Amino acid sequence: MSEHSTRTKLPTTRRSKSFSLLTAFQTIASAGFLVATLLTLWTPSNLFSNRLISEMLVSMQRNEVPEVALPTMTAAPKPLIGIVAGHWGNDPGAVCENGTTEMDVNLRIATLVAQYLKAEGYPVDLMQEYDPKLRIYQAAALVSIHNDSCQYVNEEATGFKVAAAVGTVHQEKASRLTSCLINRYQSRTGLKYHENTITPDMQEYHTFDEINSATPAAIIETGFLNLDYTLLTEHPDIVARGVADGILCYVRNEPIEWSTPAP
């Protein structure tokens, strides 16, 4: 482009160029001023003081607490379970030659059962044979713990027995409780189940007449104090785990194989 040809347009072009430069300069200057102003305004020391920030963080943390804690607050309370230590507070039960009594063995096992159930969050009543609490007793389940004779009968006198309360109004519940006890106790201890030697004494057990008829109840003879002596006296933890497993199976509605007939 030559000087001549563009002469007439020069002032316009110059003005336009100068205008553009001026505008650009002004734009940059005002943008710079704006940024500088904004930076000054939004500096943490100005708008967000350290105290303000920490207060905001604290309130954010506070807001989180109820959201996390809410579900646990609505958890339903666990049902009451009753455990009777056979003969406790009344008589020794079977007495072995070495002085060991059935009552001592029952109480040790029953105490551990109560301990295991409490550890799972269940409220437990540990009761004596004729405990005043048993009158019209109401609970999710009641289990009385006993043991069989110290005398040697024969090689078949080993294993455990379970019998349900006969007069209960909820037969299906009592039946499920006994099935749970048989199944879980057997798998924990490896002892065999004596289904043909349930005596009328077990089924007409006095405790069953005292309690509320809506309370599912069972009596378990955890073993024979002769052939099962070592397991009962030296490993009461295994015995008690077996009983507790059976009760938990019932109160938690766990699936069980129904192949084992309930008495």
| Chain contacts with Zn ion (rule: CB under 5 A) | 86, 93, 146
Q: Which is nearer to Zn ion, 86 or 246 (CB)?
A: 86
Q: Which is nearer to Zn ion, 82 or 86 (CB)?
A: 86
Q: What are phi and psi of 90, to 5 degrees?
A: -130, -60
CA 179, chain centre distance (Å) = 22
Q: Which two tokens stand for residue 121?
A: 């969050």
Do the Cβ atoms of 180 and 254 come closer than 8 Å? Answer: yes
Longest CA pairwise span in the chain (Å):
137
Q: Which is nearer to Zn ion, 85 or 262 (CB)?
A: 85
Q: Which is nearer to Zn ion, 86 or 159 (CB)?
A: 86
Sheet holding 124-127, edge to edge: 124-127, 81-85, 141-148, 217-224, 161-164
In one letter, which amino acid is 162?
Answer: V
The DSSP output letter for 133 is G
Q: Which is nearer to Zn ion, 86 or 263 (CB)?
A: 86
CB proximity list for 149: less than 8 A, separation 6 or greater:
94, 157, 224, 225, 226
Q: How far apart are CA 12 and CA 75, in angstroms?
A: 84
The DSSP output letter for 79 is P
Q: Which is nearer to Zn ion, 140 or 225 (CB)?
A: 225
Q: Which two tokens stand for residue 16?
A: 């336009």
Q: What are phi and psi of 222, to 5 degrees?
A: -70, -10
Q: Which is nearer to Zn ion, 221 or 248 (CB)?
A: 221
